[in-house]
Structure 1
Amino acid sequence: MCPHILSRPHAIVFILQLGRHTWEEQQTVALVNALFGEAAMKYMIILFTRKEELEDQSLSNFLEGLDGNLRSLLQECGDRCCAFNNSKNTEQAEKEAQVQELVELIDKMVQNNQGAYFSDPIYKDIDQKLRQQEEYLMKNYADTFNMQIEQVEVECAHKPPEEKMKKIKSITDKYNEQMKNVREEAEKSILQDVFDKIKHAFKNMANVVEVPS
């Protein structure tokens, strides 16, 4: 697991297919807005796919002819957007140029936001919770280790030393592996907690989202 998996994001990249802004995609934007608030739009970039379908038309000309919903979305996120050519015949140089354009767009946005991360109450005190979870796991692993060693001492009191040492080595190896991965396990636990909160928020909003007839 990436050591920075719980880091707050600098950017939210929303991917849309050119010329296709479905109801589901509109609702996704609405849910992001409802869940994280208008502040999320300061960190959002629209990435259009299938740029090859523009043919001879420029992206700027395409954007001028957008409908109300998508036009409104672009305005809310400061008209930050770019397009990727997804054709299998796309040259490597063009692929690299597309990625570079997106990176530069993100860098510029980060500068405009003065390097601030997107933050939300869902992520509040996450670093502190992570440390607490690490401490909890370390204590739990240590208590289990000590209990198992004591149990081996009793069980192997009248057995050959080799058998006792083999069991102790097995327990010790497992303990060392747990301690080595304690950060990763703590992150998994905290990340699950964040997901549960997001899932709960979406459930609470279920009655607000209307399905078109």
Structure 2
Amino acid sequence: MNMPKRIVLLGKTGVGKSSLANTIFGEATFKIRQFNDSKTHCSPAETKCVNGRSITLIDYPGFFDAGRSETQQKCETVACITESAPGPHAFLIVLKVERFTEQEKAVITQMCEYFSEDALKYAVVVFTHGDQLPEGMKMEEYVEQSEGLSDLVKKCGGRCHVVDNKYWRTNGEDQYRSNQFQVAELLNTIDKIGMENNREYYIDEKLQEVERKIQEEEGSIRRSLGNMSQEEIRKQAVINILKKQKSNAARTRIRNLVGLAVIAGLVATVSAVLFNSRSGKVLKAAPIFNKEITAEALADVVAEKVAALDVASPATGIAEAVEVITTPVSVIQKTFEVVMDKLNALYEKTYNPWNLFE
């Protein structure tokens, strides 16, 4: 069997991506996620042999969903890129046969933001719920009736197909309204994409970097477990890279939380220092909590410190004033480093799969 063709499915929750994947595979491989069920997640990638071809389908959950958090979107992007490295042979933009809304019009913009404009050269628009297609009409005719749909399909090289996961499961009198026919046509379209672009699959800098890391991981696995097949080594390397990326993401979240706590403590400490001098005098409050604080305002605070210290040399007074203000910063920085070391040690013991027993 040749190396599998990597196909990424992009679409909103509820458009039928998982059902499309199962239709392509000819069996229920992907879990069907209910529209309101946020706890059920589809498998990120599955590989099967279809019509003599090895196919890997990679689900990018809720790619066009509105209101998804940046963290969630980033994690899913990382997983998608890792699974599709060194690059997808095709992107399937999955839409329903229904009215084309403003959200669907943003497909092009969003896809180019997360990948690049070159990704459209490898894109195919696939419509689900083909039973909504008017009788006797083909998808190309339906697309021409909508300026938005027509523009989208044209930017994807005119490539579009349609399936129906409910009524088109068996061949009827109309060959066009047959999933078996449509899947065969879709796979033929994907075969042609590489030839049209003079490159077998889409690639960018992010994918190249991920592929480099995967190959390094493959080498490490091969040296330690030489009895594995190349397919098994590749699969394990991808799993390991995904684990490391999730580990780094969790570590970053911990650092951000600690950083917020340190900032809060820093503001409180510096505010207290600005109210009190070494001589015990109470100074004028500096506008620390004022978002519009300026360099001039801070200079006034230093000047007041110099006067409060009552030293012979103005230069020495300035140096000591600055020391009074910045000392808490250095102390908190050291405290921050100690806290981070302890948190990282705790994290390694609790969550990191490579140091589970340390």
What is the TM-score when the length of structure 1 is the normalising length?
0.60
- What is the SS of the residue equivalent to 2:161? strand
**Gapped runs of 5+ residues in structure 2?**
1-45, 48-55, 57-82, 173-177, 249-358
- What is the SS of the residue equivalent to 1:48? strand
**CA distance in structure 1 between the aligned counterparts of 2:157 and 2:150, rounded to whole angstroms:** 11
Q: What is the match of residue 18 of structure 1?
A: 97
Distance verdict in 2 for CA 1:106–1:138, change over 3 Å: closer
**Gapped runs of 5+ residues in structure 1?**
143-175, 198-213
**CA distance in structure 1 between the aligned counterparts of 2:210 and 2:227, rounded to whole angstroms:** 21
Quote how far apart the aligned CAs of 1:190 are. Answer: 2.8
Distance verdict in 2 for CA 1:22–1:196, change over 3 Å: farther
Q: Quick one: which amino acid aligns to residue 62 of structure 1?
A: Y
Conserved 8 A contact 2:86-2:203? no
- What is the SS of the residue equivalent to 1:41? helix
Q: Quick one: which amino acid aligns to residue 71 of structure 1?
A: S
Q: What is the match of residue 118 of structure 1?
A: 202
Q: What is the match of residue 161 of structure 1?
A: none
Quote how far apart the aligned CAs of 1:15 are. Answer: 0.8
Quote how far apart the aligned CAs of 1:111 are. Answer: 1.8
Q: What is the match of residue 192 of structure 2?
A: 108
1:43 to 122, 126, 144: 122
Quote how far apart the aligned CAs of 1:21 are. Answer: 3.2
Conserved 8 A contact 1:10-1:115? no
Q: What is the match of residue 139 of structure 2?
A: 59
Moved more, 21-30 or 187-196: 187-196
Whether 1:78 and 2:157 are equivalent positions in the alignment is yes
For residues 71-108 of structure 1, give each alpha carbon's deviation from its aligned partner in whole angstroms, at most 9, with x where no partner exists: 22112111110111333364247221111111111122
**CA distance in structure 1 between the aligned counterparts of 2:217 and 2:124, rounded to whole angstroms:** 34
Q: What is the match of residue 237 of structure 2?
A: 186
- What is the SS of the residue equivalent to 2:206? helix
**CA distance in structure 2 between the aligned counterparts of 1:179 and 1:20, rounded to whole angstroms:** 54
For residues 94-133 of structure 1, give each alpha carbon's deviation from its aligned partner in whole angstroms, at most 9, with x where no partner exists: 2211111111111222221224310011111444322322
**CA distance in structure 2 between the aligned counterparts of 1:83 and 1:44, rounded to whole angstroms:** 14
- Structure ranking higher in helix proportion: 1
Q: What is the match of residue 170 of structure 1?
A: none
Moved more, 93-102 or 188-197: 188-197
Q: Which is higher, the Rg of structure 1 or of structure 2?
A: 2
Conserved 8 A contact 2:98-2:132? no
Whether 1:95 and 2:179 are equivalent positions in the alignment is yes
Whether 1:30 and 2:81 are equivalent positions in the alignment is no
**CA distance in structure 2 between the aligned counterparts of 1:47 and 1:122, rounded to whole angstroms:** 26
Conserved 8 A contact 2:95-2:128? yes
- What is the SS of the residue equivalent to 1:124? helix
C-alpha RMSD of the superposition:
3.4
Distance verdict in 2 for CA 1:41–1:179, change over 3 Å: same
Quote how far apart the aligned CAs of 1:12 are. Answer: 0.7
For residues 147-175 of structure 1, give each alpha carbon's deviation from its aligned partner in whole angstroms, at most 9, with x where no partner exists: xxxxxxxxxxxxxxxxxxxxxxxxxxxxx
For residues 29-55 of structure 1, give each alpha carbon's deviation from its aligned partner in whole angstroms, at most 9, with x where no partner exists: 422111211100100000011222123
Quote how far apart the aligned CAs of 1:134 are. Answer: 3.8
- What is the SS of the residue equivalent to 1:82? strand
Q: Quick one: which amino acid aligns to residue 60 of structure 1?
A: E
Conserved 8 A contact 1:122-1:194? no
**CA distance in structure 1 between the aligned counterparts of 2:209 and 2:236, rounded to whole angstroms:** 18
What is the TM-score when the length of structure 2 is the normalising length?
0.38
Aligned residues: 160
**CA distance in structure 1 between the aligned counterparts of 2:155 and 2:181, rounded to whole angstroms:** 26
